[in-house]
A = this chain, B = another copy of it.
Amino acid sequence: MPSPSSRTLLSALTVDTLPFGQYTVSKRELFGLTEHSYALVNLKPVVPGHVLVCSRRPVGRLHDLSPMELADLWQLATKVDRCLLRAFPDMDSSTYAVQDGPSAGQTVEHVHIHVMPRGPKDAFNLQGENDKVYDAIQDNERQCVRMDIPSDEERKPRTEEEMFEEAAMLLEIMDEIEREDA
């Protein structure tokens, strides 16, 4: 029997928010949900489609997850990647990064994977600075959820409505992929 789809699980979710370290994220920011993991859009994406994939159990480090939780997390991350490549047709690649622990730049102590669709002409590659995408995640890591800190001058936080719309658009594609895979 195939696992229930993200859409089905999201509809069945009886809470309005999920924990993300010291923060909470709205159910309406999610576009992927499995038994052990969720995928959400980002307050200040460093490239269009920069999203996060998180464990549902709030642990700090990848090696704290059970084999089943870890498998589920990465299975969702690769499905998210397929979803992003379909949503952003000019992109042909993805950057995945996990800042696992404080000395690696982790600021929210809750397992999360950054997934970013990348293309030959994305902002970083156009400037010939492909690797600068990571400097940008580093900034983003400090502000990836709605926090009460002064806003970064260069990247304006998005409105809730913008974030909910993107999540709904990505959920459509996630649904398509899940129906094809079922």
Contact = CB atoms under 8 A, between A and B. Distances in A.
A176 B8 CA distance: 43
A5 interface: no
Interface residues of A, number: 44
A51 to B, nearest CB: 14
Interface string A71-89: 1011101110110000000
A97 B95 contact: yes
A75 B104 CA distance: 20
A70 interface: yes
Interface of A: 62-63, 65, 67, 70-71, 73-75, 77-79, 81-82, 91-106, 116, 118-120, 122, 125, 130-135, 137-138
Given A94-B98, A96-B100, A103-B125, 16 more contacts: A62-B77, A62-B81, A63-B78, A63-B81, A67-B75, A74-B74, A93-B101, A93-B102, A94-B101, A95-B105, A104-B118, A105-B130, A131-B134, A132-B135, A133-B134, A134-B135
